[in-house]
Amino acid sequence: MTTKTTPFPEGFLWGGATAANQVEGAYNVGGKGLSVQDVLPHGGIGSARSAGPTPDNLKLEAIDFYHRFADDIALFARMGFKTYRFSIAWSRIYPNGDDAEPNEEGLAFYDRVLDELEKHGIEPLVTISHYETPLHLSDAYDGWVSRDLIGFYETYARTLFDRYGSRVTYWLTFNEINSLLHAPFMSGGISTPKDMLGEQALYQAMHHELVASARATRIAREVAPNARVGCMVLSMPVYPLTPDPADVLTVMDADHANLVYGDVHTRGTYPGYFLRTLRERGIELEITDQDREDLTHTVDFVSFSYYMSVAETADPAKKVAGAGNIMGGVPNPTLAASEWGWQIDPVGLRIVLNQFWDRWQKPLFIVENGLGAKDELVDVDGVKTVIDDYRIAYLNDHLVQVGEAIADGVEVIGYTSWGCIDLVSASTAQLSKRYGFIYVDRNDDGTGTLERFPKKSFDWYAEVIATNGASLTR
């Protein structure tokens, strides 16, 4: 029983999140085809792809969730998870992406994952595509630059809704759909190097993903009437570096570049500021009548990741590079940063929740948030664990701000902490960038037993969930 007051509503979906390519491993098992991640040994931002899978790619084995999922889900259940966000690996279902028939072994694997979740009363939250486009679609079609991808994605999504629609309520169409322009290969399977691509092709790829997302939403409603479909965007509040109106205007432009994805998903049409961007850059999108109709199928909720805020300036002399998560921006001198340079800003989460709610009036789901940090496994009374007070402080402070936003009147339906079990980083492909409540014994050089050890934050999060947020320290 919760005795202290808590702003979190009854039924709030507490849980954790992962993505197939970062946990499953078994990259060539059970009929799975290669995905873009299988050729990104050093991460998805700014590093080159390899010709094929190479032994230094930690994602090929990852944390072997493919064989250990039942035990891992049992650990999530011990923390009291109400929901678990995971992604389905597209190339497990359609190994090449353009196959005529799905791979039954891949489908059966996710049946078993869903069985385990049901056994523990954990609500699945499924990402249809999380940075793992089948490699063949990249090699043969240049990924989302090609309109053909809409049809392949439609077939894939329909297969998932047909198979799991009676068991899965919450669906996300594309992970961080707004990262496409920044990480075209990882996010959009686009094989042409970014500097050779040209904006016309990039924006056309963006349009194709938006249409595919809306089409999946439409199909879900036909095939699985109880489905609730959300978009998923990378959120990053942008602050002006100074009160100079030129800086504020730069912030407005940066905001627009991020918000356009949510605008289209919630309003069903492109906003005027975006059409202006296209005009001024000389981009003419190919938009069919069918595309326009598809886009009107708007989402039920908006989900997003939140790790940090950034600052922006109009002054070229002050434009120093920040170690941002994909999007860039300049460092904010008032904020501390993680070991990877990501600036820590709990209040930014309240700000972004209010901004999204004011703008879209759709229920909001925080589906990623957490601290990537180096952990040290220690022995406490014969039990191996990690004393991760820094992670507890980070999560506590962010969740307090979620509570503040709820008190502001924002409708928040859930929170899934990123990397609830240690996994391979997306940007750097390291295992030493750990987010989990559960330590996984695997190192950056690939050594380790893959054994799991609950960290101090494991019990802390269990208490937060059991008290529906009342145990948070304000």
Give the H or E element holding residue 27: none
If you ran DSSP here, which 8-state letter would residue 165 be given? Answer: T
Stretch touching ligand BG6 by CB under 6 A, among 56-64, 313-321, 402-410, 418-426: 418-426
The site string for ligand BG6 over 168-207 (x = CB under 6 A, - otherwise) reads: -------xx-------------------------------
Helices (H) and strands (E) in the chain, counts: 15, 14
**Residue reference for tokens 């101090």:** 456
Catalytic choice (116, 176, 209, 404): 176
448 CB neighbour count, 10 Å cutoff: 13
* Size, binding site for ligand BG6 by CB under 6 A: 16
Compose the 292-311 pattern: x for residues touching ligand BG6 by CB under 6 A, - for all others: -------------x------
CB closer to ligand BG6 out of 266 and 425: 425
**To which H or E segment does residue 83 belong?**
strand 83-87
24: annotated active-site residue: no
Q: Name the pairing type of β-strands 383-385 and 378-380.
A: antiparallel
176 belongs to the catalytic site = yes
State how far the alpha carbon of 13 is from the alpha carbons of 123, 412, 413, 415, in Å. 8, 9, 6, 6
Q: Closest approach of Cβ 9 to ligand BG6, in Å?
A: 26
Chain-centroid distance, C-alpha 125: 12
Give 124 or 469: the residue with its C-beta nearer to ligand BG6: 124
Query: How far, rounded to the nearest angstrom, does the alpha carbon of residue 357 sit from its chain's CA centroid?
Result: 19
The overall longest dimension of the chain from CA atoms, in Å, is 67
* Coil, strand or helix at 414: strand
176 vs 294 by CB, closer to ligand BG6:
176
Closest-CA residue to 173 (of 22, 32, 62, 297):
297
CB of 224 within 8 A of CB of 308? no
User: Is residue 132 within the footprint of ligand BG6 (CB under 6 A)?
Assistant: no
Residues in the chain: 474
Minimum CB–partner distance for residue 174 and ligand BG6 (Å): 10
Q: Of the two residues 277 and 305, which places its CB atom closer to ligand BG6 in the complex?
A: 305
Residue from 159, 65, 34 nearest 104 by CA:
159
Please state the closest distance from residue 315 (CB atom) to ligand BG6, in A.
28
Binding of ligand BG6 at residue 426 (CB under 6 A)? yes
Structure tokens at 428: 């750097």
Which of these is catalytic: 132, 209, 312, 368? 368
Q: Which of 6, 427, 457, 468 binds ligand BG6 (CB under 6 A)?
A: 427
d(CA 165, CA 159): 9
Select 14 or 131, whichever has its Cβ closest to ligand BG6.
131
Closest-approach residue to ligand BG6 (CB): 427
CA 19, CA 423: separation in Å to the nearest integer? 9
Judged by CB under 6 A, the stretch of 132-140, 235-243, 349-357, 426-434 that binds ligand BG6 is: 426-434
From 42, 433, 442, 455, residue interacting with ligand BG6 (rule: CB under 6 A) = 433
In angstroms, give the least distance from the CB of 304 to ligand BG6: 10
Alpha-carbon distance of 372 to 225, in angstroms, equals 38
Q: Can you tell me which of 35, 173, 217, 325 binds ligand BG6, judged by CB under 6 A?
A: 325
Measured from the CB atom, the residue of 37 and 146 that comes closer to ligand BG6 is: 37
Q: How far is the C-alpha of 87 from the C-alpha of 303, rounded, in Å?
A: 14
What character string, x for contact with ligand BG6 (CB under 6 A) and - otherwise, covers 354-393?
--------------x---x---------------------
Phi then psi dihedrals of residue 63, to 5 deg: -110, 20
Q: Any bridge partners for residue 83, and if so which?
A: 15, 123
CB 259 → ligand BG6: shortest distance, Å? 17
Binding of ligand BG6 at residue 425 (CB under 6 A)?
A: yes
Catalytic residues: 176, 368
Point out which residues bind ligand BG6 (CB under 6 A): 19, 22, 131, 175-176, 234, 305, 325, 368, 372, 418, 425-428, 433
